[in-house]
Amino acid sequence: MSDATTISDELADRAESQDLLTLGVEEEYLLVHATEPHAVEAVEDVFDQIPDAIRESVQHEFQRSQIEVASPPQLALPALHEAMRGLRGGVAEAAERAGVRLIAIGSAPAPGEPARTTDKPRYDRMRERFGNLSPGQGMNGMHVHVSVPDPETGVQVLNFLRPWLPVLQAATANSPLSDGQDTGYASWRSMMWERWPTVGPTPYLHSHQQYLELVEALEATGAMLDEGMLYWYARLSASYPTVEIRMGDVCPTLDDAMLLAALTRGLVSSFVRKVGDGLRAPDVPQPLLAAAHWRAAHDGLEGDNIDPVTQRVRPAWALMDELYELAKPELDRHGDLDTVDELVARLREHGTGAARQRAVFAARGSVDDVVNWLAATTRGRTSP
């Protein structure tokens, strides 16, 4: 996250006085050719066009065909929406001035040359240590940060989140195409991302001390360079007093992103209360969680998933409905309920980003049409 995401003392005081949790979002995007569907290594050209007003909230990503934005933390969902609208629009306009396009997609849908690593010492060390684990044109995710009172509470919240993250992952699915063909997966990015050694479900943790010991041990093994490479699907932020949920594809529309952010905060807030009441999360077996995440990547919300508690296959939307009911009281308390009701109805009607991409692709079998639709959708210029 950029410096723009630092929580001010004033905001922290307001959150504490109202017993509310702050919320922040990071999004990664793909840069594509102005008239063709393949990705382009244009990040430096785009950076040259970024307005000063948002520059501190825009960052390089691992590959030269990617760019990232990070919102300031917010209490109100409309304020977060406005901040992200400014960032999406500002970076999209900068891309256009640089002669390329910005699209919110999990991974590149069209054939093209693999993108080179961004010229940054840390990325150079990652490439030297881990080799070509990201051989494509860019993998783009969405990360949601929610404040927690302290790291010990945060660790217990991570335990409660474990069974629900596959449902959120299914809702973000937005990368069904690769090399101009349907992969059969709603989130192909998820499958490619799993090449990295520390990617996977968060283990069940008994304390913050155990969390720190695991981080230290993983660094010692060489499986990661530093804590920033702890790619569990949910983790404690290394820099901020938040839990970071990071297993999802970047969403095609800002409304999709706001829905997932609000639901995430609703869950985290619910679990903070459970931790405060002395409750413990169920210790769902790691293999079942891995299976549920695979099913989320394969089916999205349009198929089935695994209920890790009952260990039964169920419709993904049935699990989504349960997640909503669990989060509902905290959605209401944070003032998000009416907005989330509307956005859930839209998602149910129009489907995930993967479903929408497939609908566009099915019309004429053209990946160009998909990229054109995404370029407009990322800017909010199309209907769902």
pLDDT digits (tens, 9 = 90+) for 324-367: 999 999 999 999 999 999 999 999 999 999 999 999 999 989 99
Q: Which residue ranges form the domains of the chain, and what is each CATH number?
A: 3-378 (3.30.590.20)
CB 245 within 8 A of CB 144: yes
Does residue 383 carry a pLDDT above 80? no
pLDDT digits (tens, 9 = 90+) for 50-100: 999 999 999 999 999 999 999 999 999 999 999 999 999 999 999 999 999
| d(C-alpha 331, C-alpha 320), whole Å | 15
pLDDT at 1: 36
Nearest to 72 by CA among 59, 84, 60: 84
* Mean pLDDT score, 263-271: 98
**Residue 244, H or E segment:** strand 242-249
pLDDT at 3: 42
* Mean pLDDT score, 34-40: 97
| d(C-alpha 127, C-alpha 129), whole Å | 6
pLDDT at 239: 87
pLDDT digits (tens, 9 = 90+) for 289-330: 999 999 999 999 999 999 988 889 999 999 999 999 999 999
* Mean pLDDT score, 130-158: 95
User: Mind giving me the DSSP string for 274-323?
Assistant: HHHTT-------HHHHHHHHHHHHHHTTSSEEEETTTTEEEEHHHHHHHH
pLDDT at 6: 60
* Mean pLDDT score, 22-34: 98
Mean pLDDT of the residues in the chain: 94
pLDDT at 309: 82
**Residue 384 binned pLDDT confidence (cut-offs 50, 70, 90):** very low
pLDDT at 271: 98
pLDDT at 134: 84
Helix, strand, coil percentages, rounded to 5, for the chain: 50, 15, 35
